[in-house]
Amino acid sequence: MQRYGGNTSCIELRCGEHLLILDAGTGLRPLGDTLVGSEVDADLLLTHTHLDHIGGLGFFEPLTRSGTQLRLHGGHLPAMELRAALAAALSPPLMPELWKLISGKLSVDTLPTGRPTELHAGLRVGAERLRHPGGAVGFRIEWQGRSVAYVTDTEHQPGALDPAVLRLARDTDIFIYDSNYTDEEFPHRVGWGHSTWQEGVRLANAAGARTLVLFHHDPWRSDAQIDMIAQAAAAARPGTVAAAEGVVLTA
């Protein structure tokens, strides 16, 4: 994918002066490059610890600076287990001693599911458990009357809209959804922990979300194939967009 990008899950979200980062995939490395020269004080919402969602953490340049403050919030594991999993992923024999290179302040905690948490004054984050091997969570972020739902790595059950996802997506301005497959492909991928763009349309319609963003593209697809999916989705639900590296949306 040349136009849509090959980095794994990482989204920069700006809420006034607050920087939120959604997942720590390989996209976290180029994000860190854009922050060189600035004092980084950020919250990172981590959906789960599969490698495609944490692979950028050890290469996030701001963490090598003593002035950086990064608060990492998970949801699918207790805080101590989450910290241990991250440390193991960034240590031998899986990686060089990247964990020991962290000079900034990195805190790790677990957000409760089913009720919102106020990270900063007026900035609320809700978490819900998703259907994914090993566990995962989705997030709803609310700031000054605007809202974004981030729901990736979840498997739907055909014919039954997931109530947890509906709670996250209800009346959101932007609804980012796991659209790895098509409905035609899905029966051959049951148990793999992902969903379809058509289910995203159904959920967005039921939840009253404004803009649906197709996310977590199948890495085997070409740009042309994603173009075709994006066109079909926009025809089914006008305003739908396919996530691409560098795209900027305003809620």
Q: What is the pTM of this model?
A: 0.96
Which has more confidence, 111 or 251? 111
Average pLDDT over the chain reads 96
Does position 1 have pLDDT exceeding 80, yes or no?
no
What are the Cα distances from residue 61, in Å, to 64, 67, 101?
6, 12, 10
| 4 — pLDDT class (breaks 50, 70, 90) | very high
Residue 104: predicted pLDDT: 94
pLDDT tens, residue by residue, 152-171? 999 999 999 999 999 999 99
Mean pLDDT of 193-215: 98
User: Residue 192: pLDDT above 80?
Assistant: yes
Vertex 201: Cα angle to 159 and 189 (nearest 5): 55
Q: How many CA atoms lie within 13 A of 230 on its CB side?
A: 18
**DSSP-derived pairing of the beta strands 69-74 and 41-45:** parallel
Domains and CATH numbers, the chain: 11-242 (3.60.15.10)
Spatial strand order of the sheet with 41-45 comes to 11-15, 18-22, 41-45, 69-74, 105-110
- Distance, CA of 57 to CA of 152 (rounded, Å): 18
234, pLDDT greater than 90: yes
